Amino acid sequence: MTFHIGAKPGEIAETVLLPGDPYRARWAAQTFLKDAVLVNEVRGMLGYTGTWKGERVTIQGSGMGMPSLSIYVNELIKDYGAQTLIRIGSAGGMQEHVKVRDVVLAQTASTLGSPSRGIFRELNFAPCADFGLLQAAWKAAQGRVDCHVGGIYSNDTFYEEREDLGAQLMRHGVLCVEMEAAELYTLAARYGRRALAILTISDHLITNEALPAGERERSFGDMVEIALEAAFS
Ligand SMILES: O=P(O)(O)O[C@H]1O[C@H](CO)[C@@H](O)[C@H]1O
Ligand SMILES: O=c1cc[nH]c(=O)[nH]1
């Protein structure tokens, strides 16, 4: 047990999928895992462990924003020995060709600040995905869903006041915005673990289109299957 995860030693798998939303963790575990067991409900941040094609997997909610994800990923790595950590999140599209329902594999994640910003000071560290996971996820996505690979933006605030910054990010080809990947990649680099953020475009900053509520699960399903195939390929 840790401050924020109630699982007993051995109850967390080496492969962990990380949705921000704890209800997405429950849905994904019930839909894709066999014999899924609830292993954490501290603060309602649900976590389940089960198997996929015989392989042990934990799906643990990580909350919204980098400070929240940082707590769960630190404890999953340092206290439970997680080796492969794949975020399965939603994101806002920032390029015309990246459409609602598409999947983005985050090759890098830019950020203004993160819980790790203090250790880099003047350095602009470039958090990046594990190449093996990225390659495997790309392969798993082919023929399943329109998939894009590139840089994303991990924002500290959902309600952004800096219109100029959004415009510069779009100008520099950033594909979408979410709120956690940069810290996930930084922690994976620090502790020598594998990490990838797989994101489903749920809304669009240019077109203002949004995924209808009834379609969310089906669209998020592609992302979960890509994550599971990539983790064990
Ligand atoms: O759908 P999740 O995984 O929570 O991800 C996105 O949604 C939340 C904001 O609505 C932020 O956590 C953002 O990163
Ligand atoms: O952080 C996020 C997540 C989804 N959609 C957005 O516009 N921003």
Centre a 10 Å sphere on the Cβ of residue 53 and count the other Cβ atoms it contains. 9
pTM confidence score: 0.98
pLDDT, tens digit, 9 for 90 and up, residues 181-190? 999 999 999 9
Catalytic residue at 203? yes
Confidence class for position 206, pLDDT limits 50, 70, 90: very high
Calculate mean pLDDT across residues 85-114: 97
Cβ 109 under 6 angstroms from ligand 2: no
Please answer whether residues 134 and 140 qualify as being in contact, where contact means their C-beta atoms are separated by less than 8 angstroms: no
pLDDT at 114: 86
- Ligand 2 centroid, distance to 228 Cα (angstroms): 23
Average pLDDT along the chain: 96
Task: Tell me how far apart the alpha carbons of residues 82 and 14 are, in angstroms, rounded to a whole number.
Answer: 4
- Give the model confidence (pLDDT) of 10-69 as tens digits: 999 999 999 999 999 999 999 999 999 999 999 999 999 999 999 999 999 999 999 999
Size of the chain, expressed as the number of residues it contains? 233
ipTM: 0.98
- Do β-strands 55-60 and 15-18 pair in parallel, antiparallel, or remain unpaired? parallel
For atom 2 of ligand 2, the residue with the nearest CA is 178
Q: Among the atoms of ligand 2, which is closest to the Cα of residue 158? A: 1
What integer pLDDT is reported at residue 96 of this predicted model? Answer: 98
